[in-house]
């Protein structure tokens, strides 16, 4: 399948998901065309709406890159969420420990610390995968919750701001705040950082020997081994750099948007990164587009609910459908006939002669 036909399939899948969403909106008693019009004009063509979209886009894009890179090496990083939390924690620790540095040195240092935090958190599953052959999916998933509770402990205990009504830390110094890109809104430069990272990742994978090695491991681990690639090392690199991207997302949330470390500050961005990655068909250059689209969906949900009266939860339904349809659309060939669901249904209806009797006891 060529890259182009792949992308056409993805577009078709998105349209199909929106069509099914339209059915639900109609059932809810609203006009789907009107609802979608409000949704998309609000999130993409309205100054304030666009700023909300861009704010949501930054962590989603970086979390998407945190999935794309390891997956190009054949590893599934479900741990973006935890890496975001550790990145936010490390970045906030630096910002709160050294509050008096000038911004031009402080902000990069915060990002470095955040990348270290996210990278370290990803290094554990990477090591376990590469050297102990333990499934990275389970480990990254478990570590998400550990990270969330560590941050929750930190902001409720040692980092708790004075007389805070809710678990959060003190504010970071004002010179550490990320510059705002759209005047009078929250739209900070986080999305630009994400886009730069996406472009760098694209050229790294495409045009450098080390990127090629990594891609090779993902495409065929055996062949890579024969070609003399140290596959364990590539696994470590892919996962750790992926974790660094997610760590950056955490720092961006802290110094770009909230200016404090909050309890539960990331609202599932790590998991949405998986959707971003698949929608972008694992191409880093398409990731900004896919993150922009998904961020627009969630940013516009509230407005749509207020303006048209459609339940905002319909957006989650549409997101779920988008993933299901896109994922099904990019599989080269679905199986059918004897192996598919048809065989199962026939078995249930008893029309197919079973090869082996189901003797339960």
What does the binding site for another protein look like in residue numbers (CB under 8 A)?
A: 24, 27-28, 76, 78, 128, 132, 134-135, 137-139, 141-143, 145-146, 149-150, 152-153, 156-157, 271, 274-275, 278, 311, 313-321, 323-324, 327-328, 331, 334-336, 339-341, 343-344, 347, 354-356, 358-361
Least Å distance, CB 232 to another protein, is 17
Location of structure tokens 């959060």: 168
Least Å distance, CB 133 to another protein, is 10
Least Å distance, CB 322 to another protein, is 8
Least Å distance, CB 247 to another protein, is 20
Judged by beta carbon, residue 227 or residue 331, the one nearer another protein is: 331
Contact 50, 44 (CB under 8 A): yes
Judged by beta carbon, residue 11 or residue 345, the one nearer another protein is: 345
Contact 325, 14 (CB under 8 A): yes
Judged by beta carbon, residue 19 or residue 347, the one nearer another protein is: 347
Judged by beta carbon, residue 179 or residue 320, the one nearer another protein is: 320
* Cβ neighbours, 10 Å, residue 202: 18
Judged by beta carbon, residue 224 or residue 314, the one nearer another protein is: 314
Contact 91, 68 (CB under 8 A): no
Judged by beta carbon, residue 125 or residue 247, the one nearer another protein is: 125
Please give the C-alpha separations between residue 357 and each of 272, 342, 350, 352, in angstroms, as whole numbers: 44, 19, 12, 12
The Cα 90–Cα 145 span in angstroms is: 17
Residue 110 in tokens: 């915060």
Least Å distance, CB 268 to another protein, is 9
Contact 276, 67 (CB under 8 A): yes
Judged by beta carbon, residue 177 or residue 232, the one nearer another protein is: 232
Least Å distance, CB 312 to another protein, is 9
CB-based burial of residue 173 (10 Å sphere; 0-12 exposed, 13-18 middle, 19+ buried)? middle
Least Å distance, CB 21 to another protein, is 10
Judged by beta carbon, residue 190 or residue 300, the one nearer another protein is: 300
Helices (H) and strands (E) in the chain, counts: 14, 0
The Cα 155–Cα 93 span in angstroms is: 11
CA dihedral 30, 19, 14, 327 (to 10 degrees): 120
Judged by beta carbon, residue 258 or residue 346, the one nearer another protein is: 346
Degrees (nearest 5) of the Cα angle 30, 31, 33?
145
Location of structure tokens 């990278």: 119
Helical ranges in 43-98 per DSSP H: 47-72, 80-97
Residue partners of 187: CB distance under 8 A and separation at least 6: 50, 51, 52, 54, 55, 180, 181
Least Å distance, CB 344 to another protein, is 4
Residue partners of 154: CB distance under 8 A and separation at least 6: 89, 169, 261
Least Å distance, CB 100 to another protein, is 30
Phi, psi of 157 (to 5 degrees): -115, -100
């Amino acid at each position: 399948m060529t890259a182009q036909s792949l992308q056409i399939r993805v577009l078709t899948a998105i349209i199909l998901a929106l069509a099914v969403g339209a059915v639900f909106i109609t059932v809810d008693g609203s006009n789907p065309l009107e609802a979608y019009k409000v949704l998309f004009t609000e999130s993409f063509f309205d100054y304030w709406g666009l700023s909300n979209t861009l704010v949501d886009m930054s962590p989603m894009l970086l979390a998407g890159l945190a999935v794309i890179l390891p997956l190009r090496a054949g590893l599934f990083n479900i741990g973006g969420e935890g890496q975001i939390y550790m990145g936010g924690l490390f970045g906030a620790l630096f910002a709160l420990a050294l509050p008096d540095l000038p911004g031009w040195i402080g902000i990069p240092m915060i990002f470095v610390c955040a990348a270290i935090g996210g990278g370290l958190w990803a290094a554990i599953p990477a090591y376990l995968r590469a050297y102990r052959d333990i499934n990275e999916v389970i480990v990254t998933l478990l570590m998400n919750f550990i990270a969330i509770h560590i941050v929750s402990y930190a902001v409720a205990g040692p980092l708790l701001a004075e007389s805070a009504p809710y678990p959060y830390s003190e504010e970071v110094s004002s010179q550490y705040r990320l510059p705002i890109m759209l005047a009078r809104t929250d739209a900070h430069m986080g999305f630009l950082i994400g886009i730069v990272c996406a472009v760098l990742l694209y050229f790294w994978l495409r045009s450098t020997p080390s990127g090629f090695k990594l891609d090779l491991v993902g495409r065929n681990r055996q062949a890579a081994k024969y070609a003399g690639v140290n596959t364990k090392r590539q696994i470590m690199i892919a996962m750790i750099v992926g974790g660094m991207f997610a760590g950056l997302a955490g720092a961006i949330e802290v110094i770009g948007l909230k200016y404090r470390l909050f309890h539960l500050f990331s609202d599932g961005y790590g998991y949405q990164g998986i959707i971003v990655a698949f929608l972008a068909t694992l191409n880093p250059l398409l990731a900004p587009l896919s993150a922009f689209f998904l961020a627009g969906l969630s940013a516009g949900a509230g407005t749509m609910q207020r303006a048209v009266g459609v339940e905002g939860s319909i957006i989650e339904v549409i997101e779920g459908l988008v993933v299901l349809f896109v994922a099904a659309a990019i599989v080269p060939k679905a199986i059918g006939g004897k192996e598919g669901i048809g065989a199962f249904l026939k078995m249930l209806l008893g029309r197919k002669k079973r090869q082996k009797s189901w003797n339960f006891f």
